[in-house]
Amino acid sequence: MEATMTLAVPSNNPGGLDAEISEHFGHCDLFTLIQIQDGAIASVDTVANVEHGAGGCVGPVKLLHNKGVGALVVGGMGARPMQACADVGIAVYRAELLGLKHVKDAAAGLLAGSFALMRPEQTCKGDGNCHHH
């Protein structure tokens, strides 16, 4: 992990460290942005998600890229937004959300190195069987 990095976590309103993690990347209310500096949380901000229109979840990826996000913790996401993240240099970490409820849990897990990078075969296939994306 870089010395300074911005982490994004899909969140339910109102966002922030105590907010619940959203189970749906593309349809989350907002993203909590966590500035990590030297292995610790330096600041926390939120940014409203963009409309999930044509192009699927690529709009939120562009939003996060424009905000300088370097890492994203998700329970799951589709192949298209995952590829879009790769294209702009956002590392996607997959966290089983069953044990995570709040944004602070996702931040702590990332800082502890508990999450692996998401693999293409772990993406949601759009068949309705993927609950967390």
Task: Identify the structural domains of the chain with CATH numbers, from first to last.
Answer: 4-95+105-120 (3.30.420.130)
pTM of the model: 0.89
pLDDT tens digit sequence for 69-92: 999 999 888 888 999 999 999 999
Buried (b) or exposed (e) across 30-48, using 16+ Cβ within 10 A? bbbbbebeeeeeeebebbe
Find out whether 101 and 109 touch, Cβ atoms under 8 Å: no
pLDDT tens digit sequence for 109-120: 999 998 999 988
Residues 6+ apart with CB under 8 A from 3: 37, 38
- The strand pairing partners of 73, in sequence order, are 93
What CA–CA distance (Å, rounded) separates 75 from 131? 9
How do strand 4-11 and strand 71-74 relate by DSSP bridges? Answer: parallel
pLDDT tens digit sequence for 46-76: 999 987 665 567 889 999 999 999 999 998 8
What CA–CA distance (Å, rounded) separates 47 from 53? 18
pLDDT tens digit sequence for 11-28: 999 999 999 998 878 889
